């Protein structure tokens, strides 16, 4: 029987000829990521094991691990500063060499760094201490988030249990019209599938529409598959993916493709030509609507950033909307590049000027206000339109603040007008 | 097997996400005091005043959606919560609760959810696979744990399993 992308990877990683949905396998993990929220938790598990007389000793393979500081950086308070110190000690103790330290070279939000630095490869099993680890599914990895106990287990044993998920297939046809982004595609899908419609399942994407999307747009789609509850989102290795890795000096013997007779639990088809700008209303990323319903909603803040909306392509598209409008923003506009790579390109190509001329604040790479950490947290009753991934109660600040999720272009257009605005109105 | 548990139910709705269970600014401090005192703050700022050791959270669909933060089941545990009864769970929360040995994620029917009220005295007997509403004298069957999950629950967490391969037998 044929296998889906996720089944193929899990079969290979667990040394089995084939696997089926519902099977429980013990799979070898190829790559592990820890950030400044997950790593202290892992350290906590290690200390607990040591108190119980277990010798933590060495990691299974320190080279499988990479770390970054991204959530509460630059240190927000004493606790976050101490967590960063703890990570430095972990890196020393266990010999973790791939460590992207904040303010010490290349740094930024884990999921964007994983792509820019090619830290994950097609066909790998990749686990991170962050739910949006699903992002790397766009590169063809089985990429999923776990808590710090499971990650501590993987660090010591190199493997973990997985339930083989049922796979839902999403066929994308055609191409997006101007003013529409990958963010609109995934918001449309989330509205259809629901906040728990993919729980315990894999979401696999394919079709000529997928191949028409730039890689960074695919990352946005894979990033938010977890908002439907999915274990992972995954995409095949097409020429764009292979070309990307070639440009990084990597070659692959085999492209990751699903078997022609793979079995899917459910199939959805989308014509990208028909996708409208989408907005997720409070308080769920799956509470979506076409922009018309909420256009004109007054906003206090527009936020462009995060692992979802802080990539180079996101900044480029948002800056284009602002530049073409020729206007200054009427609402507070906060722009936070996801990584130093994005930031540097924004400076070189004049995007920083476009945002600052419009009146924006440019923050340093960090998760920032997306998690209500700092750099633009919302007060009681404040309304934001945000290029981020979650609008749960209190996600970006006060539990009575209101967050509307939209594409970076929609956020840019909304900032200019001071109210939720279809970016195509400014695309003259 | 886990003992019979008895406590009061604190009832919430669908989609109680991890940002509500433990808001992100509290992720910086893993101490039981800090996590426990802020549990459920995003859903119910008075939760820490109401909850007693041994109590349960009762919820609808998709409990624990969102982040992979294991701080969510830990915060509930440190607040005294021994089990969450919900119609369904988000996968990472479920996995963290079980593999971390923090609390029991118990799947109940919609009927049970609809019937049990906030503040009801509940008894959970997983050996018999039932939840009793002692306040109403009603009995509901719970969805049994899948075999592998049950074995990890019985062991008290994934680090108490000698060899993962044992789970597949």
pLDDT of residue B54: 97
- Residue A261 belongs to some domain of the structure: no
How far does A320 lie from chain B, in Å, by closest CA?
Answer: 32
Q: Is this complex scored with an ipTM above 0.90? A: yes
Residue A289 and residue A245 in one domain: no
Among A174-178, A218-222, A335-339, A423-427, the least confident range: A423-427
Residue that terminates a domain, selected from A272, A305, A332: A272
Residue A116 and residue A49 in one domain: yes
Residue A292 and residue A236 in one domain: no
Work out how many domains chain B is built from and give that number.
Answer: 1
Query: How confident is the model over A126-143, as a mean pLDDT?
Result: 98
- Residue pair A273/A177 in contact (Cβ under 8 Å)? The answer is yes
Please say if the pLDDT value at position B51 is more than 90: yes
Query: Of A83, A199, A399, which is closest to B88 when you measure between CB atoms?
Result: A199
pLDDT of residue A252: 74
Burial label, A1 (beta-carbon count in 10 A; 0-12, 13-18, 19+):
exposed
> Percent of chain A beyond pLDDT 70?
99
Burial label, A167 (beta-carbon count in 10 A; 0-12, 13-18, 19+):
buried
The token pair at B103 is 């609390």
Digit-coded pLDDT (tens) for A41-55: 999 999 999 999 999
Helices of type H across A228-311: 239-247, 306-309
Digit-coded pLDDT (tens) for A283-312: 999 999 999 999 999 999 999 999 999 999
pLDDT of residue A1: 81
Using a CB-CB cut-off of 8 Å, the residues of chain B touching A373 are 24-25
Q: How far, in Å, CA of A352 to CA of A349, rounded? A: 8
Please say if the pLDDT value at position A110 is more than 80: yes
Residue that terminates a domain, selected from A238, A272, A306: A272
Handedness of CA A89, A92, A95, A97 (dihedral sign): positive
Residue A237 and residue A378 in one domain: no
Q: How far, in Å, CA of A140 to CA of B16, rounded? A: 31
Q: How far, in Å, CA of B169 to CA of B164, rounded? A: 10
Residue that terminates a domain, selected from A237, A272, A307: A272
CB-based contact B30 A44, cutoff 8 Å: yes
Among all residues of chain B, which has the CA nearest to that of A202? Answer: B91
Q: Report the CATH number that the domain containing residue A404 is assigned in CATH.
A: 3.30.499.10
pLDDT of residue B162: 83
Among all residues of chain B, which has the CA nearest to that of A400? Answer: B42
Using a CB-CB cut-off of 8 Å, the residues of chain B touching A72 are 28
Residue A211 and residue A294 in one domain: no
Q: The domain containing residue B155 runs over which residues?
A: 5-168
Residue A310 and residue A230 in one domain: no
CB-based contact A130 B158, cutoff 8 Å: no
pLDDT band at A428 (very low <50, low <70, confident <90, very high): very low
Q: Report the CATH number that the domain containing residue B161 is assigned in CATH.
A: 3.20.19.10
Peptide bond connecting A283 to the previous residue in cis, omega within 30 degrees of 0: yes
- Residue pair A280/A391 in contact (Cβ under 8 Å)? The answer is yes
Please say if the pLDDT value at position A234 is more than 80: yes
Digit-coded pLDDT (tens) for A247-281: 999 887 678 899 999 999 999 999 999 999 999 99
- Residue pair A42/A155 in contact (Cβ under 8 Å)? The answer is yes
Interface test with A, best of B20, B24, B149 (most A CBs within 10 A): B24
pLDDT band at A427 (very low <50, low <70, confident <90, very high): low
pLDDT of residue B165: 83
Using a CB-CB cut-off of 8 Å, the residues of chain A touching B90 are 196, 199, 229
Digit-coded pLDDT (tens) for B94-123: 999 999 999 999 999 999 999 999 999 999
pLDDT of residue B169: 66
- Residue A334 belongs to some domain of the structure: yes
The mean pLDDT of chain A is 97
Work out how many domains chain A is built from and give that number.
Answer: 2
How far does A15 lie from chain B, in Å, by closest CA?
Answer: 13
- Residue A258 belongs to some domain of the structure: no
Q: The domain containing residue A25 runs over which residues?
A: 5-251+266-272
- Residue A415 belongs to some domain of the structure: yes
pLDDT of residue B167: 79
Helices of type H across A194-269: 208-212, 215-223, 239-247
Within chain B, what is the greatest distance between any pair of CA atoms?
45
């Amino acid at each position: 029987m044929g296998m889906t992308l996720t089944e193929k990877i899990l079969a290979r990683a667990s040394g089995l000829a084939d696997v089926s949905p519902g099977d429980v396998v013990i799979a070898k993990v190829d790559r592990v990521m820890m950030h400044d929220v997950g790593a202290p938790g892992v350290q906590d598990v290690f200390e607990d094991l040591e108190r119980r007389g277990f010798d933590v000793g060495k990691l299974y393979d320190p080279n499988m691990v990479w770390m970054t500081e991204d959530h509460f950086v630059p240190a927000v308070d004493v606790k976050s500063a101490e967590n960063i110190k703890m990570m430095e000690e972990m890196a020393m103790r266990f010999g973790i060499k791939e460590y992207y330290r904040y303010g010490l070279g290349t740094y930024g939000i884990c999921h964007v760094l994983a792509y820019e630095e090619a830290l994950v490869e097609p066909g790998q099993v990749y686990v991170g201490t962050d739910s949006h680890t699903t992002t790397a599914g766009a590169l063809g990895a089985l990429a999923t988030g776990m808590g710090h106990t499971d990650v501590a287990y993987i660090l010591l044993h190199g493997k973990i249990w997985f339930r083989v998920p049922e796979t839902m297939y999403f066929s994308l046809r055609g191409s997006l019209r101007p003013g529409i982004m990958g963010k609109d595609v995934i918001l449309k899908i989330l509205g259809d599938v629901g906040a728990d419609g993919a729980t315990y399942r894999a979401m696999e994407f394919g079709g000529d529409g997928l191949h028409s999307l730039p890689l960074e747009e695919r990352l946005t789609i894979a990033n938010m598959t977890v908002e439907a509850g999915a274990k992972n989102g995954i995409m095949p290795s097409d020429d764009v993916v292979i070309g990307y890795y070639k440009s990084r000096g990597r070659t692959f013997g085999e492209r990751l493709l699903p078997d022609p007779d793979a079995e899917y639990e459910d199939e959805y088809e989308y014509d990208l030509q028909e996708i409208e700008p989408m907005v997720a209303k409070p308080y769920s990323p799956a509470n979506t609507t076409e922009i018309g319903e909420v256009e004109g909603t007054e906003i206090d803040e527009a936020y462009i950033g995060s692992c979802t909306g802080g990539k180079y392509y996101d900044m480029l598209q948002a800056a284009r909307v602002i530049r073409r409008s020729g206007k200054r923003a009427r609402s507070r506009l906060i722009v936070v590049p996801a990584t130093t790579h994005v930031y540097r390109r924004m400076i070189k190509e004049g995007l920083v000027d476009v945002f600052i001329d419009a009146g924006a604040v440019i923050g340093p790479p960090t998760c920032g206000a997306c998690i209500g950490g700092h750099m633009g947290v919302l007060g009681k009753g404040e309304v934001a339109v945000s290029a981020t991934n979650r609008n749960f109660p209190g996600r970006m600040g006060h539990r009575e603040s209101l967050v509307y999720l939209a594409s970076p272009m929609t956020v840019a257009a909304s900032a200019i007008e001071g109210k939720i605005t279809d970016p195509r109105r400014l695309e003259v | 097997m886990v003992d019979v548990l008895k406590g009061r139910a604190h009832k919430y709705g669908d989609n109680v996400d991890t940002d509500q269970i433990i808001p992100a600014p509290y992720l910086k401090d893993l101490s039981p005091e800090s996590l426990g005192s802020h549990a459920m703050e995003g859903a119910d700022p008075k939760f820490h005043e109401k909850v007693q050791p041994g109590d349960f959270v009762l919820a609808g669909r998709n409990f624990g959606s969102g982040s992979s933060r294991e701080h969510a089941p830990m915060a509930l545990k440190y607040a005294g919560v021994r089990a969450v009864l919900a119609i369904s769970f988000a996968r990472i929360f479920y996995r963290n609760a079980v593999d971390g040995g923090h609390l029991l994620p118990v799947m109940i029917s919609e009927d049970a959810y609809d019937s049990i009220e906030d503040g009801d005295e509940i008894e959970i007997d997983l050996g018999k696979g039932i939840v009793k509403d002692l306040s109403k004298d009603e009995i509901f069957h719970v969805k049994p744990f899948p075999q592998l999950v049950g074995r990890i629950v019985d062991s008290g967490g994934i680090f108490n399993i000698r060899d993962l391969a044992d789970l597949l037998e």
